[in-house]
Amino acid sequence: MNSPLTPAEPRPEQAEMPFAIVDGEPVTEPPRDLYIPPQALKVFLEAFEGPLDLLLYLIRRQNLDVLDIPIAEITRQYLNYIDLMRELELELAGEYLLMAAMLAEIKSRMLLPRAQSEQAEEDDPRAELVRRLQEYERFKRAAEDIDHLPRLERDVWVAQAELIERAVAPLLPDVTLKEMLLAFQDVISRAAMFAHHHVQRERLSVRQRMSEIIERLQGGELLGFAQLFRVEEGRMGVTVTFVALLELLREGLLDIVQADTYAPLHVRAATPRSDQPAANDDAAGAASDDILESR
Partner 1 sequence: MNDSYLKNVIEAALLAAGRPVALAELRELFDEFARPDAVAVEAALGELAADYAGRGIVLAEVASGWRIQVRADVAQPVSRLWQERPAKYSRALLETLALIAYRQPITRGEIEDIRGVAVNPNIVRTVLERGWVRVIGHRDVPGRPELLATTREFLDYFGLKTLDDLPTLAQLKDVESLGVQLEFDRPGDPALAEASDVQEAPADDVAPGAAAGGAGD
Under rule CB under 8 A, which residues in 226-245 are in contact with partner 1? Answer: none
Taking CB under 8 A as the rule, does residue 145 contact partner 1? yes
Separation of alpha carbons 142 and 139, rounded Å: 5
Taking CB under 8 A as the rule, does residue 135 contact partner 1? yes
The distance of closest approach from Cβ of residue 280 to partner 1 in the complex, given in angstroms and rounded to an integer, is 15
Taking CB under 8 A as the rule, does residue 65 contact partner 1? yes
Q: Of 24 and 150, which CB lies nearer to partner 1 in the complex structure?
A: 150
Q: Of 41 and 71, which CB lies nearer to partner 1 in the complex structure?
A: 71
Of 78, 130, 74, nearest to 100 by C-alpha is 78
User: Of residues 30-59, which lie at the interface with partner 1 (CB under 8 A)?
Assistant: 47, 49-53
Name every residue whose Cβ is closer than 8 Å to that of residue 76 and which is 6 or more positions away in sequence: 10, 12, 13
Taking CB under 8 A as the rule, does residue 110 contact partner 1? yes
Alpha carbon distances (Å) from 40 to 34, 35, 43, 44, 134: 10, 10, 5, 6, 29
Q: Which stretch binds partner 1 (CB under 8 A): 26-34, 37-45, 176-184, 223-231?
A: 176-184
Q: Which stretch binds partner 1 (CB under 8 A): 19-27, 34-42, 79-87, 95-103?
A: 95-103
Name every residue whose Cβ is closer than 8 Å to that of residue 295 and which is 6 or more positions away in sequence: 198, 200
The distance of closest approach from Cβ of residue 112 to partner 1 in the complex, given in angstroms and rounded to an integer, is 5
Q: Of 22 and 281, which CB lies nearer to partner 1 in the complex structure?
A: 281
Taking CB under 8 A as the rule, does residue 222 contact partner 1? no
User: Of residues 248-287, which lie at the interface with partner 1 (CB under 8 A)?
Assistant: 251-253, 269-273
Asked whether the beta carbons of 9 and 21 are under 8 A apart, the reply is no
* Out of 107, 228, 241, 246, the residue judged to bind partner 1 by CB under 8 A: 107
Three-state SS at 154 = coil
Q: Of 17 and 158, which CB lies nearer to partner 1 in the complex structure?
A: 158
Asked whether the beta carbons of 254 and 245 are under 8 A apart, the reply is yes
Three-state SS at 295 = coil
Number of residues forming the site for partner 1 (CB under 8 A): 127
Residue 258 — left, alpha, or beta (φ > 0 → left; ψ -120 to 50 → alpha)?
beta
The angle formed by the CA atoms of residues 111, 116 and 120, to the nearest 5 degrees, is 65
Inter-axis angle of helices 38-46 and 71-87, to 10 degrees? 120
Q: Which stretch binds partner 1 (CB under 8 A): 78-86, 123-131, 223-231, 257-265?
A: 123-131
Q: Which stretch binds partner 1 (CB under 8 A): 26-34, 36-44, 189-197, 283-291?
A: 189-197
